[in-house]
Amino acid sequence: MALVLLPLAQGFEEVEAVSLIDVLRRGGVEVRIAHMDGDTDTDMVLGANGITIQADTSIANVMSEEFDMILLPGGWEGTYTLADNETVQRLLKEFKQKEKVIGSICAAAYALKKADVLGTEYTCYPAAADEIDHPGYREDKAVVTDGNIMTSRGPGTALCFGLEIVKRLVGVESYTAVKEGMLLDFCE
């Protein structure tokens, strides 16, 4: 079974995180949620809109060898924390070096750029593109796959992004079953 690491930092975008976790788990992908050390005294992480999610582990306990993909949700406050967290940045570089899949949605492409793992083509939340300031921004696509780097625009694209990740990690059969079961016929 494919295993995805989803680090959460306070201020994450809840719609993105929950949608991705839900679609991936429906598709047969195991998702492990990690909280940032020092960000909280518990395993509970507060999102940008006041929704709290319980993490499975601390980012300090994560070893890249265990995972097939690292996936970062957006939300500016959470994104800045992910971009400044030494462990997250190290993990992003390890995933790239080991040719594992790296994903981000919304503003989280900023954390990928800071780790120098952002692809030559990517997408992100339109208002974040100037701050990310990286060539290859595709404002016309909901999901962009550039080798092992997968990016998506924002909250409204999270379900379709999750489907693309299922297709990549598990295959077309699972992708089709989740897409039809969730009535996601608007996803390409």
Among candidate residues 106, 124, 160, 187, the one labeled active-site is 106
Q: Which two tokens stand for residue 128?
A: 């974040």
> What 3-state DSSP class applies to 8?
strand
pLDDT at 40: 53
Q: Is the pLDDT of residue 66 over 60?
A: yes
Other C-beta atoms within 10 Å of 107: how many?
A: 28
Residue-number span of the structural domain to which 76 is assigned: 3-181
The Cα 11–Cα 5 span in angstroms is: 18
- pLDDT tens for 18-57 read 999 999 999 999 999 999 976 555 789 999 999 999 999 9
In-domain check, residue 188: no
Would you state the structure tokens that stand for residue 144, as one six-digit string?
């962009």
What are the CA-CA distances from residue 33 to residues 50, 62, 116, 173 (Å)? 18, 10, 23, 25
- pLDDT tens, position by position, 2-16: 999 999 999 999 999
Q: How many CB atoms lie within 10 A of CB 141?
A: 16
Percent of the chain with pLDDT over 70: 98
- CATH number, domain with residue 112: 3.40.50.880
Give the pLDDT band (50/70/90) at residue 188: confident
CB 38 within 8 A of CB 176: no
Cβ within 8 Å of residue 187, ≥6 positions away? 159, 160, 163, 179
Q: Encoding tokens for residue 74?
A: 């957006």
Looking only at the bridges linking them, the beta strands covering 3-8 and 69-72 are parallel
What length does the chain have? 188
Q: Residue 8: what are its φ and ψ, rounded to 5°?
A: -115, 135
For residue 116, being part of any structural domain is answered with yes
Least confident of 23-27, 58-62, 91-95: 58-62
Structural domain count, the chain: 1
Query: Could you tell me what percent of the chain has a pLDDT over 90?
Result: 95
Per the domain annotation, does 75 fall within a domain?
yes
Query: What pLDDT is attached to residue 42?
Result: 73
- pLDDT of residue 145 exceeding 60, the answer is yes
Residue 109 has what pLDDT?
98
Contact assessment for residue 165 and residue 152, using Cβ atoms and an 8 Å cutoff: no
Q: Is 106 assigned a catalytic role?
A: yes
- How many CB atoms within 10 Å of residue 11? 20
Asked whether residue 186 is domain-assigned, the answer is: no
> Does the residue 19 lie in any domain?
yes
**Does residue 187 belong to any structural domain of this protein?**
no
Per-residue model confidence as pLDDT tens digits over 164-179: 999 999 999 999 999 9
Mean pLDDT value of segment 134-153: 96
The burial of 146, by beta-carbon neighbours within 10 Å (0-12 exposed, 13-18 middle, 19 or more buried), is given as: middle
